[in-house]
Homo-oligomer: A and B are copies of this chain.
């Protein structure tokens, strides 16, 4: 795994995430290697990481070079391409990287199946990713129907192109609405501890969508003030009953939205729906290392001995969720 300064140009630049004016994707596969934008470095610098082994792919997922359930799934799919000769072993290694995002397991099982059927692994992975990107665009088209002119919408964490290779889930409707000329304003929770709100801000800036980053504490203030018309977030895993795991803090925003009669939508492709579990109780919540809280953008912001607890996700019970925006349409609850 190494950082390279090479930035790949996408052949079909149209509608892809922009990086300083050029159209890019969050990750791509080329000459037996996976290239990814290092999301830990954004928005301060754009660095491309190259990975060529299964160990490197596992590390990339674990260290959050790549994050966002669909993008993790795509990374794992390419990891299966790299490790196709020992497919079962590769699957086991990759499944141990992070416990919450369902797309990870979905993508690995899909690839295992394809490899066991002797289908071309790279072709299968490319199809998986292409399908995901198309699903995200469909999410954007369906989600856009919920957005009226002059709406202000809150989002939490980053469920944009970076989290999904392209288009995003929660951010896809904003992109379509903006392209259609609707005036919208996005409130982006900064999303401590890892400040993924900055990734959202970076993506929205590229698209020239008006927005403001706010402290996670301020979302309730703006909801009560009547400044937020709708909330849209992504999800990492959705149980059969509609309970949804997503970045820590999502549950707080959902409760506050309900209390203030604000519709709360979750945008996610089919690969995020886990039909093997009945409710959110069965979703494993990843506890991450204390360093994430003690630092921000690489800087120490708390003394190293500060006792901390750092759950990475929470589960929003289905009763707080107005509906799901999927590639198939809007599923009201």
A residues near B (Cβ < 8 Å) are: 43-44, 187, 189-193, 195, 198, 201, 210-222, 224, 247-249, 251-252, 255-256, 259, 285, 293, 296-297, 299-303, 306-311, 314-315
Contacts and interface: CB of A to CB of B under 8 A. Distances in A.
A302 B198 contact: yes
A-B pairs, top 5 by smallest CB distance, nearest first, are A217-B249, A299-B299, A220-B252, A297-B301, A221-B314
A44 to B, nearest CB: 7
A191 B193 CA distance: 12
B300 A214 contact: no
Nearest to A313: B221
Given A302-B195, A302-B213, A221 B308 contact: no
A249 B214 contact: no
Given A217-B247, A217-B248, A297-B299, 12 more contacts: A187-B309, A192-B217, A193-B215, A212-B309, A213-B306, A215-B216, A215-B249, A220-B255, A221-B285, A256-B256, A299-B300, A301-B301
A217 B252 contact: yes
17 contacts: A43-B306, A189-B217, A190-B293, A198-B303, A201-B306, A201-B307, A210-B307, A213-B306, A220-B255, A221-B248, A224-B251, A252-B256, A255-B255, A255-B256, A256-B256, A297-B301, A301-B301
Contacts of A248: 215, 217-218, 221
Contacts of A216: 192, 215-217, 249
Contacts of A214: 293, 308-310
Given A224-B314, A249-B218, A44 B303 contact: yes
